[in-house]
Amino acid sequence: MRALTIDAHGGLEQLRFREDVVEPMLSAPTDVRVRLRAAALNHIDLWTVRGVPGVQIVPPWILGADGIGVVDAVGPGVTRVTVGDTVMINPGISCRTCEYCLSGDNPLCLKFGVLGEHRPGTLTELVVIPEANVRSVPATTPPESGAAFSLAALTAWRMCVTRARVGPDDEVLIWGIGGGVAQMALAICKARGARTWVTSGSDEKLERARALGADMLLRHGPGIDIGREVRAQTGKRGVTVVVDTVGTATWTQSLGALGRRGRLVTSGGTSGHVVETDVRRLFWNQWTIMGSTMGSDAEYDAVIAEFIAGRLTPVIDSVHTLERSADALARLESGKQFGKVVVRIS
């Protein structure tokens, strides 16, 4: 079958489109096999190409976490979907037997993994995953939207709803509004009645964010201190919540924007992973700094319900073919995208 693969870690020169990848077989009674219609990219794909410490790949390694497709085969223990169902995929794979899984908090699973990083991914024609990781959706679902939704929406939902508990009294600062998680966070925070502040290095992206409902627009870049900007525009009070997925480049400014009793929630570090925090400001302002990753079964059910109801829809930046999907990763790496980079498969 066709797939976008890597044989070794490095830069995007390692990407290799192949047509001779062996089709995966069901390996557990509760597995399903999905014939993919579309996949979508996330920063995790770039991290996987570069290499994640402690994570081994077996060449040819298939990239991709997000996807939508049609169930092609089911194991004898599968009860919730049947062959022919259109399904969206939750890319977070958990063991379902450890104490975290049994308490319904799958992303804390001791064996947690993500499609495309710890298991063969979705930038191909067929993927095998546990039944618990798929949800039936209408066959009329646009493949591009269905593929682009899951990882970003699930991540943003857990960050904003479960972790930061954003509500109508909140002022939320969201970094890098061109990104998929940031755009989902914007939609979720708006729906919960919060006032939203978004940043971008591009005026064009800020204008597009205004059309998505962002209240306050902030241009970030060299020589600009977003923390100072936010304090100046809030009478020194700052915001109550910061959604930061950028890491090293933004952390100090995020804390500078955060008011007393503020909450900072992070799910990634696209610019770097090591950050500096002045502990005196942390305790004096009584901040809460929290991590978040992916989402649980219940959170996935919640975002799928929002998707089917039409209340949460991903913004699509561009659609690429599987044969040219290396171009799609280059688009993501460039940072020029506004929304999700999608790969159409069938």
**Chain residues that interact with Zn ion, rule: CB under 5 A:** 94-95, 98, 101, 109
Distinct helix (H) and strand (E) counts, the chain: 10, 18
Nearer of residues 105 and 306 to Zn ion, judged by Cβ: 105
Nearer of residues 35 and 119 to Zn ion, judged by Cβ: 119
Helix (H/G/I), strand (E/B), else coil: 118:
coil
Q: Least separation, in Å, of the C-beta of 4 and Zn ion?
A: 29
Question: Please, is 226 exposed, middle or buried when counting C-beta atoms within 10 Å of its C-beta (0-12, 13-18, 19+)?
Answer: buried
What's the Rg (C-alpha) of the chain? Answer: 20
Nearer of residues 118 and 205 to Zn ion, judged by Cβ: 118
Nearer of residues 109 and 115 to Zn ion, judged by Cβ: 109
Q: Least separation, in Å, of the C-beta of 154 and Zn ion?
A: 17
Nearer of residues 94 and 141 to Zn ion, judged by Cβ: 94
Q: Least separation, in Å, of the C-beta of 159 and Zn ion?
A: 21
Identity of the amino acid at 159: M
Nearer of residues 110 and 290 to Zn ion, judged by Cβ: 110
Q: Which of 188, 159, 180, 154 is nearest to 296 (CA)?
A: 154
The terminus-to-terminus CA distance of the chain in angstroms comes to 12
- Tell me the CA distances in angstroms from 271 to 9, 14, 47, 228, one per residue in order: 19, 21, 11, 21
Q: Least separation, in Å, of the C-beta of 24 and Zn ion?
A: 22
CA distance 242 to 255: 8
Q: Least separation, in Å, of the C-beta of 107 and Zn ion?
A: 10
CA distance 340 to 191: 21
- CA 98 vs. chain centroid, Å, equals 24
Nearer of residues 114 and 328 to Zn ion, judged by Cβ: 114
Q: Least separation, in Å, of the C-beta of 76 and Zn ion?
A: 23
- CA 115 vs. chain centroid, Å, equals 12
Bridge-partner residues for 247, per DSSP?
Answer: 272
Q: Least separation, in Å, of the C-beta of 97 and Zn ion?
A: 6
Report residue 136 as tokens. 């039936």
Q: Least separation, in Å, of the C-beta of 158 and Zn ion?
A: 16
Cβ atoms of residues 155 and 267 within 8 Å: yes
Nearer of residues 101 and 316 to Zn ion, judged by Cβ: 101
Overall residue count recorded for the chain in this entry = 346
